[in-house]
Amino acid sequence: MMRRLTQQGRGPRIGLLGGTFNPVHRGHLLLADGAREALHLDQVLWIPAYIPPHKAIEGKVTPNDRARMVELAIQGHPAFRLSRVELNRPPPSYTIDTVRQLQADPAFKRATWFLMIGSDTARELPTWRKLDELRKRVTFVAIPRPGDPADKILPRGVVRLPIPAVNISSSAIRQRVRLGWEIQHLVPPAVARYIEEKALYR
């Protein structure tokens, strides 16, 4: 299956990585780059959610704060780009609306689309809005999450990426900040400075 995925299509290969990124961390970067290599992606669009329908935003942090941290984290990586598509649209952030909007952009004409989701999130797919339409528009690829068994059965049409899981979580980082502990080894230096300067998560 992976071999077929890396060969299909003649246009640009675009990966979509959505999330709250509260905050973005080194694990996100490692997984995104692993997916880029495994799927031969030309570009990975990082899409911070405004108000996601399935997950609450913890901490006194604005959508623009989360977007800025992503921007700082991915600067210098030629294949990574921040997309504000969900931040510029009234909430909540439904994936089908995001995909429709991006695919209508002439800049992505003839693109092949891959939607990256956590392997633990895959079980929630039946609750997603317009799932049948989404399946026609994108290929779902599951990013491994710590504790999720490698032999776990995924929903129909979801491809498991053969990359290692990364045991870093945004919630653990927020807790460390509240306790006054160091986070330099968990987030890029520019993100750590931003969190400190803005007194986020305290």
Q: Which residues pair with 172 in a beta bridge?
A: none
- The CATH number of the domain holding residue 91 is 3.40.50.620
Chain segment 103-131, per-residue pLDDT in tens: 999 989 899 999 999 888 888 888 899 99
For the chain, the distance separating the N- and C-terminal CA atoms, rounded to the nearest angstrom, is 45
Candidates 10, 8, 17; CA nearest to 36 is 17
Predicted local confidence at residue 121, as pLDDT = 81
Chain segment 118-169, per-residue pLDDT in tens: 888 888 888 899 999 999 999 999 988 877 665 566 777 888 888 888 999 9
For residue 180, tell me if it sits in a domain. Answer: no
- Number of domains making up the chain: 1
For residue 128, tell me if it sits in a domain. Answer: yes
**Which of 91-105, 119-133, 167-181 is predicted with the least confidence, judged by mean pLDDT?**
119-133
Over range 8-30, report the average pLDDT.
Answer: 91
Candidates 178, 182, 141; CA nearest to 193 is 182
pTM here is: 0.89
DSSP state of 82: E
Q: Which structural domain range is residue 125 located in?
A: 2-167
Checking if the pLDDT of 56 tops 90, the result is no
How many Cβ atoms are within 10 Å of 112's Cβ, its own excluded?
20
CA distance 172 to 25: 11
